[in-house]
Structure 1
Protein backbone atom coordinates (compact mmCIF):
# COMPACT_ATOMS: atom_id res chain seq x y z
CA UNK A 1 0.00 0.00 0.00
CA UNK A 2 1.18 3.53 -0.81
CA UNK A 3 0.81 5.74 2.28
CA UNK A 4 1.11 9.51 1.94
CA UNK A 5 2.09 11.67 4.92
CA UNK A 6 1.11 15.36 5.00
CA UNK A 7 2.00 17.76 7.84
CA UNK A 8 0.67 21.33 8.08
CA UNK A 9 2.62 24.45 8.97
CA UNK A 10 1.77 24.81 12.67
CA UNK A 11 3.11 21.31 13.39
CA UNK A 12 5.93 21.16 10.86
CA UNK A 13 8.57 21.11 13.59
CA UNK A 14 7.29 17.64 14.57
CA UNK A 15 7.53 16.31 11.02
CA UNK A 16 10.53 14.08 11.69
CA UNK A 17 8.91 12.54 14.79
CA UNK A 18 5.72 11.70 12.89
CA UNK A 19 7.54 10.45 9.81
CA UNK A 20 9.88 8.23 11.80
CA UNK A 21 7.00 6.71 13.77
CA UNK A 22 5.05 6.00 10.58
CA UNK A 23 7.93 4.44 8.67
CA UNK A 24 9.00 2.38 11.69
CA UNK A 25 5.61 0.65 11.61
CA UNK A 26 4.53 0.75 7.98
CA UNK A 27 7.68 -0.21 6.09
CA UNK A 28 8.32 -3.52 7.91
CA UNK A 29 4.72 -4.44 7.03
CA UNK A 30 5.52 -3.98 3.33
CA UNK A 31 3.94 -0.55 2.84
CA UNK A 32 5.61 2.43 1.15
CA UNK A 33 5.58 5.84 2.80
CA UNK A 34 5.78 9.05 0.76
CA UNK A 35 6.27 12.23 2.78
CA UNK A 36 4.70 15.16 0.91
CA UNK A 37 5.77 17.74 3.52
CA UNK A 38 6.08 19.85 5.38
CA UNK A 39 9.55 18.73 6.36
CA UNK A 40 10.41 21.59 8.71
CA UNK A 41 8.97 24.86 9.95
CA UNK A 42 11.32 26.67 7.56
CA UNK A 43 10.01 25.03 4.38
CA UNK A 44 9.50 27.43 1.48
CA UNK A 45 6.20 25.73 0.61
CA UNK A 46 3.86 26.19 3.58
CA UNK A 47 0.82 23.94 3.97
CA UNK A 48 -2.33 24.92 5.86
CA UNK A 49 -4.84 22.36 7.08
CA UNK A 50 -7.08 23.38 4.17
CA UNK A 51 -4.27 22.53 1.75
CA UNK A 52 -3.86 19.20 3.56
CA UNK A 53 -7.44 18.41 2.56
CA UNK A 54 -6.88 19.40 -1.07
CA UNK A 55 -3.72 17.31 -1.26
CA UNK A 56 -5.51 14.36 0.32
CA UNK A 57 -8.21 14.53 -2.35
CA UNK A 58 -5.67 14.77 -5.17
CA UNK A 59 -3.51 11.89 -3.95
CA UNK A 60 -6.36 9.46 -3.27
CA UNK A 61 -8.38 10.21 -6.39
CA UNK A 62 -5.35 10.06 -8.68
CA UNK A 63 -4.08 6.74 -7.36
CA UNK A 64 -0.87 8.37 -6.11
CA UNK A 65 -1.74 7.12 -2.62
CA UNK A 66 -3.94 4.38 -1.19
CA UNK A 67 -4.07 5.94 2.26
CA UNK A 68 -3.27 9.39 3.67
CA UNK A 69 -1.99 10.22 7.14
CA UNK A 70 -2.37 13.89 7.98
CA UNK A 71 -3.21 16.15 10.90
CA UNK A 72 -2.84 19.56 12.50
CA UNK A 73 -2.99 21.02 16.00
CA UNK A 74 -6.20 19.23 16.97
CA UNK A 75 -6.62 17.07 13.87
CA UNK A 76 -10.13 18.43 13.37
CA UNK A 77 -9.32 21.04 10.72
CA UNK A 78 -7.44 18.58 8.53
CA UNK A 79 -10.21 16.00 8.97
CA UNK A 80 -12.89 18.48 7.90
CA UNK A 81 -10.87 19.72 4.93
CA UNK A 82 -10.11 16.18 3.76
CA UNK A 83 -13.75 15.11 4.01
CA UNK A 84 -14.73 18.11 1.88
CA UNK A 85 -13.03 16.41 -1.08
CA UNK A 86 -14.66 13.72 -3.25
CA UNK A 87 -13.75 10.13 -2.51
CA UNK A 88 -12.13 10.89 0.84
CA UNK A 89 -13.27 9.19 4.05
CA UNK A 90 -11.12 10.64 6.83
CA UNK A 91 -11.37 9.85 10.51
CA UNK A 92 -10.19 11.89 13.49
CA UNK A 93 -7.85 9.50 15.30
CA UNK A 94 -6.41 10.21 18.74
CA UNK A 95 -5.46 6.82 20.17
CA UNK A 96 -5.00 3.17 19.10
CA UNK A 97 -8.60 2.28 19.99
CA UNK A 98 -9.83 4.98 17.60
CA UNK A 99 -7.51 3.57 14.94
CA UNK A 100 -8.70 0.00 15.40
CA UNK A 101 -12.40 0.89 15.34
CA UNK A 102 -11.99 3.24 12.36
CA UNK A 103 -10.19 0.53 10.42
CA UNK A 104 -12.65 -2.23 11.28
CA UNK A 105 -15.93 -0.30 11.16
CA UNK A 106 -15.42 2.59 8.75
CA UNK A 107 -12.50 1.28 6.67
CA UNK A 108 -11.73 4.80 5.47
CA UNK A 109 -8.79 5.94 3.38
CA UNK A 110 -7.36 8.77 5.50
CA UNK A 111 -6.80 9.79 9.09
CA UNK A 112 -6.15 13.14 10.74
CA UNK A 113 -4.33 13.28 14.08
CA UNK A 114 -3.71 15.97 16.71
CA UNK A 115 -0.03 16.92 16.79
CA UNK A 116 -0.40 19.68 19.42
CA UNK A 117 -3.37 18.81 21.65
CA UNK A 118 -2.32 15.99 23.96
CA UNK A 119 1.04 15.56 22.20
CA UNK A 120 3.22 15.06 25.25
CA UNK A 121 5.68 12.62 26.75
CA UNK A 122 6.07 9.40 24.70
CA UNK A 123 3.84 10.80 21.95
CA UNK A 124 5.88 8.87 19.39
CA UNK A 125 4.84 5.61 21.07
CA UNK A 126 1.17 6.54 20.74
CA UNK A 127 1.78 7.33 17.05
CA UNK A 128 3.38 3.94 16.47
CA UNK A 129 0.56 2.13 18.26
CA UNK A 130 -2.02 4.00 16.17
CA UNK A 131 -0.25 3.13 12.91
CA UNK A 132 0.12 -0.49 13.97
CA UNK A 133 -3.64 -0.76 14.59
CA UNK A 134 -4.29 0.77 11.16
CA UNK A 135 -1.82 -1.00 8.93
CA UNK A 136 -1.14 -4.40 10.49
CA UNK A 137 -3.74 -6.88 9.29
CA UNK A 138 -6.96 -6.69 7.32
CA UNK A 139 -9.31 -3.75 7.78
CA UNK A 140 -13.08 -3.65 7.34
CA UNK A 141 -13.77 -6.89 9.22
CA UNK A 142 -16.30 -5.22 11.52
CA UNK A 143 -16.50 -4.78 15.27
CA UNK A 144 -18.18 -6.48 16.93
CA UNK A 145 -17.90 -9.24 14.33
CA UNK A 146 -21.61 -10.03 14.36
CA UNK A 147 -22.29 -6.55 12.96
CA UNK A 148 -19.76 -6.88 10.14
CA UNK A 149 -22.36 -7.20 7.37
CA UNK A 150 -24.43 -4.17 8.37
CA UNK A 151 -21.21 -2.16 8.69
CA UNK A 152 -20.13 -3.21 5.21
CA UNK A 153 -23.54 -2.22 3.87
CA UNK A 154 -23.42 1.17 5.59
CA UNK A 155 -19.95 1.87 4.15
CA UNK A 156 -21.37 1.26 0.70
CA UNK A 157 -24.33 3.56 1.36
CA UNK A 158 -21.98 6.28 2.61
CA UNK A 159 -19.83 6.01 -0.53
CA UNK A 160 -22.93 6.29 -2.71
CA UNK A 161 -24.11 9.29 -0.70
CA UNK A 162 -20.78 11.05 -1.03
CA UNK A 163 -20.66 10.38 -4.77
CA UNK A 164 -24.17 11.84 -5.08
CA UNK A 165 -23.42 14.99 -3.09
CA UNK A 166 -19.84 15.73 -4.21
CA UNK A 167 -18.41 16.81 -7.53
CA UNK A 168 -16.01 14.51 -9.33
CA UNK A 169 -12.36 15.28 -8.59
CA UNK A 170 -11.65 17.19 -11.82
CA UNK A 171 -14.73 19.38 -11.36
CA UNK A 172 -13.75 19.95 -7.73
CA UNK A 173 -10.20 20.95 -8.68
CA UNK A 174 -11.47 23.32 -11.38
CA UNK A 175 -13.87 24.95 -8.90
CA UNK A 176 -11.12 25.66 -6.38
CA UNK A 177 -9.21 28.92 -6.23
CA UNK A 178 -6.36 28.01 -8.57
CA UNK A 179 -3.79 29.98 -6.57
CA UNK A 180 -4.77 27.96 -3.49
CA UNK A 181 -4.51 24.73 -5.49
CA UNK A 182 -1.11 25.70 -6.87
CA UNK A 183 0.14 26.49 -3.36
CA UNK A 184 -1.08 23.10 -2.12
CA UNK A 185 1.01 21.25 -4.72
CA UNK A 186 4.11 23.43 -4.43
CA UNK A 187 5.92 21.11 -2.03
CA UNK A 188 9.55 20.22 -2.57
CA UNK A 189 8.89 16.56 -3.44
CA UNK A 190 5.32 16.73 -4.72
CA UNK A 191 6.10 16.42 -8.42
CA UNK A 192 8.61 13.59 -7.96
CA UNK A 193 6.24 11.51 -5.85
CA UNK A 194 2.98 12.40 -7.58
CA UNK A 195 3.95 11.79 -11.19
CA UNK A 196 5.80 8.58 -10.29
CA UNK A 197 2.72 7.11 -8.57
CA UNK A 198 -0.49 8.70 -9.90
CA UNK A 199 -2.42 6.44 -12.27
CA UNK A 200 -5.38 8.61 -13.26
CA UNK A 201 -4.37 10.37 -16.48
CA UNK A 202 -7.05 13.07 -16.24
CA UNK A 203 -5.88 14.13 -12.79
CA UNK A 204 -2.24 13.95 -13.86
CA UNK A 205 -2.95 16.17 -16.86
CA UNK A 206 -4.88 18.72 -14.84
CA UNK A 207 -2.19 18.96 -12.17
CA UNK A 208 0.47 19.27 -14.85
CA UNK A 209 -1.47 22.20 -16.32
CA UNK A 210 -1.77 23.91 -12.92
CA UNK A 211 1.94 23.57 -12.31
CA UNK A 212 2.74 25.01 -15.72
CA UNK A 213 0.40 28.00 -15.38
Structure 2
Protein backbone atom coordinates (compact mmCIF):
# COMPACT_ATOMS: atom_id res chain seq x y z
CA UNK A 1 0.00 0.00 0.00
CA UNK A 2 1.28 3.43 -0.95
CA UNK A 3 2.10 6.03 1.67
CA UNK A 4 0.97 8.75 -0.76
CA UNK A 5 -1.78 10.61 1.10
CA UNK A 6 -2.69 12.98 -1.74
CA UNK A 7 -6.13 12.94 -3.34
CA UNK A 8 -6.94 14.90 -6.51
CA UNK A 9 -10.40 16.48 -6.44
CA UNK A 10 -12.23 18.12 -9.29
CA UNK A 11 -15.75 18.68 -10.52
CA UNK A 12 -17.87 20.71 -12.85
CA UNK A 13 -19.69 23.84 -11.69
CA UNK A 14 -22.72 21.87 -10.42
CA UNK A 15 -20.69 20.06 -7.77
CA UNK A 16 -18.62 22.90 -6.37
CA UNK A 17 -20.30 22.92 -2.94
CA UNK A 18 -20.19 19.15 -2.39
CA UNK A 19 -16.57 19.03 -3.57
CA UNK A 20 -15.64 21.56 -0.88
CA UNK A 21 -17.44 19.50 1.78
CA UNK A 22 -15.46 16.44 0.63
CA UNK A 23 -12.19 18.42 0.67
CA UNK A 24 -12.84 19.43 4.29
CA UNK A 25 -13.84 15.86 5.20
CA UNK A 26 -10.79 14.12 3.75
CA UNK A 27 -8.48 16.77 5.18
CA UNK A 28 -9.92 16.06 8.63
CA UNK A 29 -9.16 12.36 8.01
CA UNK A 30 -5.48 13.14 7.39
CA UNK A 31 -5.43 13.16 3.60
CA UNK A 32 -3.95 15.99 1.56
CA UNK A 33 -6.57 17.42 -0.79
CA UNK A 34 -5.28 18.58 -4.17
CA UNK A 35 -8.32 20.60 -5.21
CA UNK A 36 -7.90 21.55 -8.85
CA UNK A 37 -11.19 23.35 -9.23
CA UNK A 38 -13.16 24.92 -10.64
CA UNK A 39 -13.39 27.73 -8.11
CA UNK A 40 -16.61 29.40 -9.31
CA UNK A 41 -20.09 28.26 -10.32
CA UNK A 42 -19.62 29.65 -13.84
CA UNK A 43 -20.59 26.94 -16.33
CA UNK A 44 -17.68 24.69 -17.22
CA UNK A 45 -17.06 21.39 -18.99
CA UNK A 46 -16.74 18.23 -16.90
CA UNK A 47 -14.53 16.31 -19.39
CA UNK A 48 -11.56 18.62 -18.86
CA UNK A 49 -11.92 18.39 -15.09
CA UNK A 50 -12.16 14.60 -15.09
CA UNK A 51 -9.11 14.32 -17.33
CA UNK A 52 -7.06 16.77 -15.24
CA UNK A 53 -7.70 14.86 -12.01
CA UNK A 54 -7.04 11.52 -13.73
CA UNK A 55 -3.68 12.74 -15.01
CA UNK A 56 -2.60 13.59 -11.45
CA UNK A 57 -3.51 10.07 -10.34
CA UNK A 58 -2.00 8.32 -13.37
CA UNK A 59 1.28 10.22 -12.90
CA UNK A 60 1.53 9.05 -9.28
CA UNK A 61 1.35 12.61 -7.95
CA UNK A 62 -1.90 11.66 -6.21
CA UNK A 63 -2.82 8.24 -4.88
CA UNK A 64 -6.54 8.64 -5.51
CA UNK A 65 -8.95 10.96 -7.25
CA UNK A 66 -12.48 12.01 -6.35
CA UNK A 67 -14.47 13.68 -9.10
CA UNK A 68 -18.02 14.99 -9.24
CA UNK A 69 -20.57 16.20 -11.74
CA UNK A 70 -24.37 16.11 -11.96
CA UNK A 71 -24.65 12.33 -12.32
CA UNK A 72 -20.99 11.36 -11.90
CA UNK A 73 -21.20 9.53 -15.22
CA UNK A 74 -19.75 12.02 -17.70
CA UNK A 75 -16.77 13.03 -15.60
CA UNK A 76 -16.06 9.34 -14.89
CA UNK A 77 -16.05 8.55 -18.61
CA UNK A 78 -13.53 11.33 -19.23
CA UNK A 79 -11.28 10.13 -16.39
CA UNK A 80 -11.30 6.54 -17.65
CA UNK A 81 -9.84 7.69 -20.99
CA UNK A 82 -6.53 8.29 -19.19
CA UNK A 83 -4.29 5.20 -19.22
CA UNK A 84 -3.99 3.57 -15.80
CA UNK A 85 -7.21 4.98 -14.41
CA UNK A 86 -9.93 2.78 -12.99
CA UNK A 87 -12.78 5.04 -11.94
CA UNK A 88 -16.28 4.05 -10.95
CA UNK A 89 -19.44 5.98 -10.20
CA UNK A 90 -20.84 5.06 -6.81
CA UNK A 91 -24.24 5.79 -5.33
CA UNK A 92 -23.87 3.47 -2.33
CA UNK A 93 -21.18 2.38 0.13
CA UNK A 94 -21.15 -1.26 -0.98
CA UNK A 95 -20.14 -0.30 -4.51
CA UNK A 96 -17.51 2.10 -3.20
CA UNK A 97 -15.89 -0.69 -1.16
CA UNK A 98 -16.12 -3.18 -4.02
CA UNK A 99 -14.49 -0.96 -6.64
CA UNK A 100 -11.48 -0.75 -4.30
CA UNK A 101 -11.46 -4.37 -3.10
CA UNK A 102 -12.13 -6.08 -6.43
CA UNK A 103 -11.20 -3.56 -9.13
CA UNK A 104 -8.34 -1.67 -7.45
CA UNK A 105 -10.10 1.56 -8.45
CA UNK A 106 -7.93 4.61 -8.04
CA UNK A 107 -10.69 7.13 -8.65
CA UNK A 108 -14.20 7.62 -7.36
CA UNK A 109 -16.95 9.55 -9.11
CA UNK A 110 -20.06 10.88 -7.39
CA UNK A 111 -23.18 12.48 -8.84
CA UNK A 112 -24.18 15.57 -6.90
CA UNK A 113 -27.74 15.34 -8.27
CA UNK A 114 -27.96 11.67 -7.30
CA UNK A 115 -26.72 11.45 -3.69
CA UNK A 116 -26.94 13.84 -0.78
CA UNK A 117 -24.08 15.16 1.28
CA UNK A 118 -24.27 12.60 4.09
CA UNK A 119 -24.32 9.63 1.75
CA UNK A 120 -21.54 11.15 -0.36
CA UNK A 121 -19.28 11.34 2.70
CA UNK A 122 -20.12 7.73 3.61
CA UNK A 123 -19.24 6.69 0.04
CA UNK A 124 -15.91 8.53 0.28
CA UNK A 125 -15.15 6.81 3.60
CA UNK A 126 -16.00 3.37 2.21
CA UNK A 127 -13.75 3.99 -0.81
CA UNK A 128 -10.81 5.29 1.23
CA UNK A 129 -10.88 2.58 3.90
CA UNK A 130 -11.14 -0.42 1.57
CA UNK A 131 -8.02 -2.20 0.35
CA UNK A 132 -7.49 -4.09 -2.89
CA UNK A 133 -7.75 -7.83 -2.21
CA UNK A 134 -5.43 -8.96 -5.03
CA UNK A 135 -5.51 -12.67 -5.90
CA UNK A 136 -8.04 -13.54 -8.59
CA UNK A 137 -9.01 -9.87 -8.70
CA UNK A 138 -5.47 -8.88 -9.72
CA UNK A 139 -5.73 -11.08 -12.80
CA UNK A 140 -8.97 -9.34 -13.73
CA UNK A 141 -7.50 -5.88 -13.22
CA UNK A 142 -4.65 -6.95 -15.52
CA UNK A 143 -7.28 -7.90 -18.11
CA UNK A 144 -8.90 -4.47 -17.78
CA UNK A 145 -5.57 -2.75 -18.33
CA UNK A 146 -4.32 -5.03 -21.15
CA UNK A 147 -5.73 -2.87 -23.99
CA UNK A 148 -3.68 0.09 -22.68
CA UNK A 149 -0.39 -1.81 -23.00
In structure 2, what is the Cα distance between the partners aligned to 1:131 and 1:11?
15
Look up the match of 2:39.
Answer: 39
Residue in 1 that maps onto 2:20? 16
Corresponding residue SS for 1:106: coil
More helix by share: 1
Contact 1:91 1:111 in 2 (8 A): yes
Distance in 2 (CA, whole Å) between partners of 1:67 and 1:57 is: 9
Query: Following the alignment from structure 1 to structure 2, what is the Cα–Cα distance between the partners of residues 129 and 82?
Result: 22
How many angstroms apart in 2 are the aligned matches of 1:23 and 1:97? 23
Give the TM-score taking structure 1 as reference length. 0.61
Runs of 5+ in structure 1 lacking a partner?
142-147, 165-213
> 1:90 maps to which residue?
87
1:176 is matched with none
**Which 4+ runs in 1 deviate beyond 4 A?**
none
- Greater per-residue strand proportion: 2
The match for 1:160 among 138, 146, 149 is 146
The correspondence for 1:54, drawn from 51, 72, 82, is: 51
Counterpart of 1:102 in structure 2 is 99
Which residue of structure 2 aligns with residue 179 of structure 1? none
What is the TM-score of this pair, normalised by structure 2?
A: 0.85
- 3-state SS of paired residue (2:102): helix
Structure 2 match to 1:189: none
Task: Tell me which residue corresponds to 1:73.
Answer: 70
1:47 CA displacement = 4.2
C-alpha RMSD over aligned residues: 2.0
